[in-house]
Chain A
Amino acid sequence: MESLMIILVGILVAIATYLILSRSVFRVIMGTAILSHAVHLLLLTVGGLKKGDVPIIGQADEAFTDALPQALILTAIVISFAVTAFLLVLAYRMYLTNGTDDFSQLGGKSDE
């Protein structure tokens, strides 16, 4: 199962890299969103996909699942949600004022 997850992470990172390297702003934003999902999955996988009891004292007699990766991912998902939302609004405003969503035209001149 871990190997499958790692392969999935690899595929997601590849897709994200492809999207981030493209010229359209929207695709780049999608790329960062997918990259964040890939990293969350990786975090889950390296924490170990053990099957076990809930980590509560008195309820887990034997091996219990490590709950920390879930907690970390939850925090990271909230952050990624916030920054992606901000980024989409910013990109929309940028599109309205600059009139383009193509990175090759957003170089800017030094004399501004």
Chain B
Amino acid sequence: MNNIIVLPMIVPIITAIFLVFLRDSIKLQRIISLITMVFVAVVSIVLLQLIQTEGILRLDFSGWAPPFGILFVADSFAVLLVLTASIVTAICLIYAFSTIGPRHERMFFYPFVLLLVAGVNGSFLTGDIFNLFVCFEVMLLASFALIALGGEKFQLREALKYVLINIVASWMFLLALAYLYGTLKTLNMAHISQRVAEVGQEPILTLVSLVFLIVFALKAGLLLFFWLPGSYSVPPTVVQALFAALLTKVGIYALFRTFTLMFPFDPEVTHTLIGIMAGLTIIAGCMGALSGHDVRTIATYNVVIGVGFILLALAIGTEEAMAGAVYYLIHDMIAKALLFLIIGTMVFLTGEIVVKNMSGLIRNYPLFGWLYFIVMCALVGIPPLSGFIGKVLIGQGAVETGSYVLLALGFGSSVIVLYSLLRIFLASFFGETSISEDDKKPIPRGAMVSFMLFALCIVGLGVGAEGIAVYVNDAAYTLVNPSVYVDAILNANE
């Protein structure tokens, strides 16, 4: 009945395999990959409606009842992220059509993007923690290929570091799984949650959860983000945008699941630690964003700040903060993708990456300049754009629990984000133009279309926040009350 849950993962995989055989028909590859992503987006909207009427959905593969088999679980939190990921990927593909170039397209760019999305969606939807590891690997292998695609000197150098760090992190993930299986003898997330609740979260279980914290912090860029600025600035623009929008968010999702569903009973240790790590991440990210000279560094450190800000909500842990986190996650995926696309286009137009060397872009490309202004305002959290509601809700949660330090850090970071992005706006967009009318490169129409679509999403999410409130509140309710999730998996009568 609920076979629809598996579609967001299986359809991109099948299409990706299919596209491998269409290597030379680039046009067909473009059309099919875009249709696939739109289809997945539609499927996730249907899923969201189904969850509203029927509660949390699950799909037991081969009919093995939980906790014995592998299963996919669709709750509002997961499906909202699947929906956003699909929309972001679809729009990024439109950007890629006019910019990535036939060299990449013939080297299986579209299949790799689809496999990346399959891994991301699988990670969001799975209800089995070993399956989460497998989906992570699907996503990572696709990302390894995408980051190295092109084979430039600096690209291969950074790709090697990125791959090595992620492989070591993966084996640590497996190590944590081994400990978990050794102590609890189960891998089903709902079952883990139930067993931890039964035996109480003893120190050994807290220790296991801390190993998971290290692993997911590496993937999400929470404090352990030393690999992020280097590797996010070398691949082609559209790949950067996809990475910034999707990869760290999967790590954040895993952290939320681990510490709200599976190990929520020792918040003095785990959630305090997450709060400290998130605070330090914000501070370090702000320092990086302030000290950066080139646009790419500034943009990548903005990713780091975003990660820290979302995880503040996990440390705060009230229902309001969770709702804020869901809003902010959706906003951050869209806004970071747009930011990276715009930054990459700036580099393409001027041939420069240092902020000081660009000037007067807004004279030649007025619409482009104002789109940058919109994404900047959204990232800072100015109403009525998309970042506002998330920031307000997380701030409200912080006030309620009296976490004023986290509140100050979170809102202080908004000022730094504003400063770092405004610096680019003032230096690169205003002033005398350095490009003469004759040398002016046109912005590809496909790129402009994707910017407009992203800007539309940002404005739409800000103005229409009320429209998705019912889904977001459901997601936050499930996060704060893990028993809802556990009951839907283990105690449902079919």
**Residues of chain A at the chain B interface (Cβ within 8 Å):** 20, 25, 28-29, 32, 35-36, 39-40, 42-43, 46-47, 68-69, 72, 75-76, 79-80, 82-83, 86-87, 90-91, 93-94, 97-98, 106, 108, 110-112
Q: Could you tell me the distance in whole angstroms from the C-beta of B147 to the nearest C-beta in chain A?
A: 10
Contact A83 B167 (CB under 8 A): yes
Contact A79 B156 (CB under 8 A): no
Contact A97 B153 (CB under 8 A): yes
Contact B181 A36 (CB under 8 A): no
Across-interface contacts of B157 in A (CB, < 8 A):
94, 98, 106, 108
Inter-chain CA distance A28–B160, complex, in Å, is: 11
Say yes or no for B163: interface residue by CB 8 A criterion: yes
Q: Could you tell me the distance in whole angstroms from the C-beta of A100 to the nearest C-beta in chain B?
A: 10
Inter-chain CA distance A35–B148, complex, in Å, is: 24
Across-interface contacts of A90 in B (CB, < 8 A):
144, 148, 156, 159-160, 163
Inter-chain CA distance A40–B181, complex, in Å, is: 13
User: Which 10 pairs, one residue from A and one from B, show the smallest C-beta to C-beta distance?
Assistant: A46-B182, A43-B178, A94-B156, A39-B174, A97-B153, A42-B178, A35-B171, A94-B160, A79-B137, A32-B167
Say yes or no for B265: interface residue by CB 8 A criterion: no
Contact A93 B156 (CB under 8 A): yes
Knowing that A75-B134, A86-B163 touch, tell me 17 more A-B residue pairs with CB under 8 angstroms.
A25-B160, A32-B167, A36-B171, A36-B174, A42-B175, A42-B178, A72-B181, A83-B144, A86-B144, A86-B145, A87-B160, A87-B163, A87-B167, A98-B153, A106-B157, A108-B154, A110-B297
Across-interface contacts of A20 in B (CB, < 8 A):
168
Contact A72 B177 (CB under 8 A): yes
- Evaluate whether A79 and B153 lie within 8 angstroms (CB atoms) in the complex, with A87-B163, A90-B160, A110-B297 already known: no
Q: Could you tell me the distance in whole angstroms from the C-beta of A25 to the nearest C-beta in chain B?
A: 7
Inter-chain CA distance A47–B179, complex, in Å, is: 9
Say yes or no for B418: interface residue by CB 8 A criterion: no
Interface residues on B, range: 35 or more
Say yes or no for B130: interface residue by CB 8 A criterion: yes
Across-interface contacts of B45 in A (CB, < 8 A):
none
Say yes or no for B7: interface residue by CB 8 A criterion: no
Inter-chain CA distance A2–B174, complex, in Å, is: 19
Contact A43 B177 (CB under 8 A): yes
Q: Could you tell me the distance in whole angstroms from the C-beta of A110 to the nearest C-beta in chain B?
A: 7
Across-interface contacts of B161 in A (CB, < 8 A):
106
Q: Which of B130, B144, B161, B167 has the most CB of A within 10 A?
A: B167
Q: Could you tell me the distance in whole angstroms from the C-beta of B52 to the nearest C-beta in chain A?
A: 35
Across-interface contacts of A32 in B (CB, < 8 A):
164, 167-168, 171
Across-interface contacts of A42 in B (CB, < 8 A):
175, 178
Say yes or no for B464: interface residue by CB 8 A criterion: no
Partner of B137, one of A35, A40, A83, A110: A83
Across-interface contacts of B133 in A (CB, < 8 A):
76
Inter-chain CA distance A98–B148, complex, in Å, is: 14
Across-interface contacts of B145 in A (CB, < 8 A):
86
| Binary contact track B286-302/A, C-beta < 8 Å → 1, others 0 | 00000001100100000
Contact A47 B167 (CB under 8 A): no
Inter-chain CA distance A72–B186, complex, in Å, is: 12
Nearest A residue to B167, CB-CB: A32
| Binary contact track B408-427/A, C-beta < 8 Å → 1, others 0 | 00000000000000000000
